[in-house]
Amino acid sequence: MKIDPDIYDPNQEDLSRDTLISLVEKDFVSTSFARRDELIRSLFKTESSVSEFNLANLSEKTETGALGNIVGSDIVYIEGWKNIANISARLIDFFDKVVVLECLIDKDQSIYEEREFTATIFEDFELAIGKIFLLRFFSRRKEIKMEVHDEPGLVSKDDFPEKDFRLLFKNSKLFK
């Protein structure tokens, strides 16, 4: 059992949910933990006997990924995030509600796409045309998460070569 000594007073008559604790299974079943029953009754707001409670071992998942049937318990199993994509991006335009990025989708084939993102994702960044970002995408069951990083060195500026459009369209009939 881990208790914050600045908050917990062992002489306190009433343990409440406001007490900062971290309960581990060995403490839960320990007979040397003198006020265990009182703590459990207070945490779970019940008069039931402590022996009626079971702590689930999170490593014992069923094949479906859920925990076994534990009646009367609120158990939330949180899976870890799996990184599914890292995309280099360059800022090409931004507005009040939208940020437009040129995203490098396939480096080997030089495939780029313009993608729009809500501006709230970039609120803590100083936006300037040409700024380089790394977009990291993560997933887990029923969720997707995106992180935005702008630390130097995460993305090579060579991924976004500067193009001289005058040379590109020099012989174009459009500009003759």
Structural domain boundaries, residue 156: 82-168
Residue 22 lies in a domain: yes
In contact, 114 and 98? CB cutoff 8 Å: no
Q: How many domains does the chain have?
A: 2
Is residue 80 within 8 A of residue 123, CB to CB? The reply is no
How confident is the model at residue 147, as a pLDDT?
95
Q: Are residues 55 and 91 in the same domain?
A: no
- Shared domain check, 118 and 48: no
Radius of gyration of the chain (CA): 28
Are 53 and 90 found together in one domain? Answer: no
Same domain flag for 87 and 136:
yes
The partner residues of 148 in beta bridges, in order of sequence, read 135
Do 68 and 113 belong to one domain? Answer: no
Question: What 8-state DSSP symbol labels residue 133?
Answer: E
What pLDDT shows up at residue 2? 46
Q: Is 104 in a helix, a strand, or coil?
A: strand
The verdict on 37 and 90 lying in the same domain is no
- Is residue 95 domain-shared with residue 146, that is, in the same domain? yes
83 and 136 Cβ atoms separated by less than 8 Å: yes
Q: Are residues 60 and 90 both part of a single domain?
A: no
pLDDT of residue 43: 72
pTM over 0.75: no
- Asked whether the beta carbons of 101 and 117 are under 8 A apart, the reply is yes
Taking alpha carbons only, the member of 32, 33, 29, 5 closest to residue 19 is: 5
Whole-number Cα distances in Å, 142 to 61, 76, 115, 154: 18, 14, 23, 29
Residues 102 and 141 in one domain: yes
94, containing H or E segment: strand 82-94
Q: Tell me if 127 sits within 8 A of 99, measured CB to CB.
A: yes
* Last residue within a domain, chosen from 51, 77, 103: 77
pLDDT of 12 reads: 53
Tens of pLDDT along the chain (176 residues) come to 444 444 444 555 544 434 444 445 555 555 556 666 777 777 777 776 655 555 554 444 444 444 455 555 566 667 889 999 999 999 999 999 999 999 999 999 989 999 999 999 999 999 999 999 999 999 998 899 999 999 988 998 889 888 766 666 777 777 66
